[in-house]
């Protein structure tokens, strides 16, 4: 599953953040997005996931190929770990709940309600959700927030296994994931200098 992004411009709230973003990711490769807070990493990932349309440019990536891992994990606190994962597995038509729980080391918490998990455990559960989607392209927004060093290493192993299977990962992160083979895209050069509204004034539209 190759991804090709050409001359992409993305906006949030009517303000264009990034323009002229072009990159390519081949199957089995990971791309790490770097940039200061507010650089537009999340906006870029949401655009790639198909949650918002690009301002300009083209994205060669079918939205149904991408699994989006956002800041929020999409967990229901009154459901157990297994129920949370089983729901997303059913939505995506897969049955890999058990292997996903093993993969992110939440199997021992299977019958605990998500409300009773620590922040790091919730995060691990949120990342296990990626495994049950069965989708080849992972779009990850700060996946390692609140993970300890051991869990970061565990997650890097999961990502590496995903890449070995021909998958793709695009990761926005500030920390070192332990994936030295991944390409890095620095977003700062693509930032729009003056933060002007892009000619669209809602009041007069």
Partner 1 sequence: MRALLLRDLRLAVRSGGGFGLGLAFFFLLSVLVPLGVGPEGGTLGRIAPGILWVGALLACLLSLDRIFALDFEDGSLDLLATAPIPLEAVVALKALAHWLVTGLPLTLLAPGLGVLLNLPPAGYGWLVLSLLLGTPALSVIGAFGAALVVGLRRGGLLLSLLVLPLYVPTLIFGAEVVRRGAEGTALATPLALLAGISLGATALLPFAAAAALRVNLR
Nearer to partner 1, 75 or 156 (CB): 75
Which residues contact partner 1 (rule: CB under 8 A)? Answer: 46, 49-53, 63-64, 66-68, 70-79, 83, 86-88, 90-93, 129
> In this structure, what DSSP letter does residue 154 have?
H
Closest to partner 1 by CB, 84 vs 179, is 84
Which of residues 173 and 179 has its CB atom nearest to partner 1 in the complex? 173
d(CA 17, CA 155): 30
Give the distance, in angstroms, between the CA of residue 29 and the centroid of all CA atoms in the same chain: 15
Q: Residue 186 or residue 200: which is nearer to partner 1 going by CB?
A: 200
Shortest CB 81 distance to partner 1, Å: 14
Q: How far apart are CA 25 and CA 69, in angstroms?
A: 18
Cβ at position 139, least distance to partner 1 in Å: 9
Runs of H (alpha helix) within 22-178: 41-48, 81-92, 97-103, 119-133, 149-164
Q: Which residues of 138-159 are buried (b: 16+ CB within 10 A; e: fewer)?
A: bbbbbbbeebeeebbebbbebb
Return the sign of the alpha-carbon dihedral for residues 51, 166, 122, 179: negative
Q: Are strands 56-60 and 183-186 parallel, antiparallel or unpaired?
A: unpaired
The minimum distance between CB 186 and partner 1, in angstroms, equals: 26
Retrieve residue 72's tokens: 């929020």
Q: Least distance (Å) from partner 1 to the CB of residue 150?
A: 25
Least distance in angstroms from the C-beta of 14 to partner 1 = 10
Other CB atoms within a 10 A radius of the CB of residue 176 amount to: 11
Q: Pull the structure tokens for residue 187.
A: 């977003």
Residue 69: CB minimum distance to partner 1, A: 9
Of 88 and 179, CB closest to partner 1: 88
């Amino acid at each position: 599953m190759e991804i090709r992004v050409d001359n992409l411009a993305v906006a949030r709230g009517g303000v264009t953040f990034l323009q002229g973003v072009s990159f390519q990711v081949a199957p089995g490769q990971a791309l790490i997005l770097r940039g200061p807070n507010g650089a537009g990493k999340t906006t870029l990932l949401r655009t790639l996931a198909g949650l918002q349309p690009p301002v300009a440019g083209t994205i060669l990536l079918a939205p149904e190929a991408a699994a989006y891992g956002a800041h929020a994990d999409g967990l229901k606190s009154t459901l157990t770990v297994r129920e949370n994962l089983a729901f997303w597995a059913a939505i995506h038509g897969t049955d890999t709940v058990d292997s996903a729980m093993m993969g992110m080391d939440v199997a021992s918490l299977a019958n605990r309600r998500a409300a009773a998990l620590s922040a790091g455990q919730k995060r691990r559960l949120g990342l296990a959700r990626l495994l049950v989607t069965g989708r080849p392209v992972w779009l990850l927004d700060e996946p390692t927030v609140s993970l300890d060093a051991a869990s970061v290493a565990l997650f890097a192993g999961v990502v590496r296994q995903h890449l070995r299977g021909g998958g793709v990962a695009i990761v926005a992160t500030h920390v070192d994931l332990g994936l030295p083979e991944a390409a890095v895209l620095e977003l700062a050069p693509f930032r729009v200098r003056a933060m002007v509204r892009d000619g669209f004034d809602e009041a007069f539209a």
